């Protein structure tokens, strides 16, 4: 599959997706969003991919936001469709992906860029990263899940401060507020750490990873505990469960397919 705005590298069961619009600070235009959708779907169905890492080209930006020029003349119905398509085709697709996704935030993650990172299951950042949701300066609000995911990650008060002030925070502030899991000194160290973490994760049961993602995503929802019970019970009927238990009893490392 050939892309204009993405670079895809598959190695050792990990798919690295690099958003490559460096001259535009990797801003998300419609073509790029469509390509991300196709790349994630490709990774989901590819048996040789067990985990995904998303990063941005260059050293300056992960994704510096949406491409404003594409929607500057939109009316309300067009704005609604823009948000709806983005949610369904990219941001919700990422959040509900059955395979783990790490955002390697290598610089600016603003607006749609931070919303893209927040849709991922885990976030790691380089020391030069800066994050924010500046949409109110455009007379808008975050439209790709920013008002929903940010409070869940950092709490309502801090989310209100970030969204209403439109101020950026540093990588260290993001770490303090639990917006990211870890901060690394530069992009090479960031990708190394993200890859090492993903290699650790994908050695575990693929079925259990999928079930855990589904159950965690249901947290704080009315059916959250029921979803956990459902996913927990389903695991008992899998080959992964049999292999995991046998390996434990035989005091060896499990070998999952």
**Contact predicate 179/158, CB 8 Å:** no
- pLDDT of 195 higher than 90: yes
Q: What number of other Cβ atoms are within 10 A of residue 91's Cβ? A: 25
What is the Cα–Cα distance from 234 to 241, expressed in whole angstroms?
Answer: 10
**Catalytic residue (choose from 31, 78, 95, 115):** 115
- pLDDT of 224 higher than 90: yes
Q: What is the pTM of this model?
A: 0.96
- pLDDT of 1 higher than 80: no
Q: Which two tokens stand for residue 88?
A: 């369904």
Does the CA dihedral 56-60-66-71 come out positive or negative? negative
Helix (H, G, I), strand (E, B) or coil at 169: strand
CATH architecture of the region 6-202: Alpha-Beta Complex (3.90)
Q: Which two tokens stand for residue 216?
A: 């965690």
User: Which residues pair with residue 66 across a beta bridge?
Assistant: 28
**Catalytic residue (choose from 31, 95, 135, 243):** 135
**Contact predicate 36/85, CB 8 Å:** no
Catalytic residue list contains 115: yes
What is the Cα–Cα distance from 178 to 153, expressed in whole angstroms?
Answer: 7
Radius of gyration, CA atoms only, the chain: 19
Helix (H, G, I), strand (E, B) or coil at 6: strand
Task: Give the whole-number percent of the chain exceeding pLDDT 90.
Answer: 95
Q: What number of other Cβ atoms are within 10 A of residue 242's Cβ? A: 12
Domain boundaries, given as residue ranges, for the chain: 6-202, 206-249
Q: pLDDT tens for residues 90-121?
A: 999 999 999 999 999 999 999 999 999 999 99
Q: Kindly state the average pLDDT of the residues 2-6.
A: 96
């Amino acid at each position: 599959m050939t892309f204009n705005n993405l670079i895809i590298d598959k190695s050792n069961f990990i798919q690295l997706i690099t958003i490559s619009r460096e001259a535009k600070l990797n801003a998300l235009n419609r073509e790029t969003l469509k390509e991300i959708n196709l790349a994630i779907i490709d990774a989901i169905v590819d048996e040789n991919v067990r985990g995904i890492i998303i990063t941005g080209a260059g050293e300056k930006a992960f994704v510096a936001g949406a491409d404003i020029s594409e929607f500057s003349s939109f009316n309300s119905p067009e704005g609604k469709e823009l948000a709806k398509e983005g949610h369904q085709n990219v941001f919700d697709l990422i959040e509900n992906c059955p395979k783990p996704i790490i955002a390697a935030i290598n610089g600016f993650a603003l607006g749609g860029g931070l919303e893209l990172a927040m849709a991922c299951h885990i976030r790691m950042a380089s020391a030069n990263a800066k994050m924010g949701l500046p949409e109110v300066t455009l007379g808008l609000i975050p439209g790709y899940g920013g008002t929903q995911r940010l409070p869940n990650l950092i709490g309502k008060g801090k989310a209100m401060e970030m969204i209403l002030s439109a101020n950026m925070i540093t990588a260290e502030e993001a770490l303090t507020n639990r917006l990211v899991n870890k901060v690394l000194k530069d992009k090479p160290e960031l990708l190394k750490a993200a890859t090492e973490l993903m290699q650790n994760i994908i050695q575990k049961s693929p079925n259990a990873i999928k079930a855990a993602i589904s159950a965690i995503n249901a947290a704080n929802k009315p059916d959250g505990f029921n979803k956990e019970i459902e996913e927990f019970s389903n695991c008992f009927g899998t080959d992964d469960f049999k292999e995991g238990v046998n390996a434990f009893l035989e005091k060896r490392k499990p070998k999952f397919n």
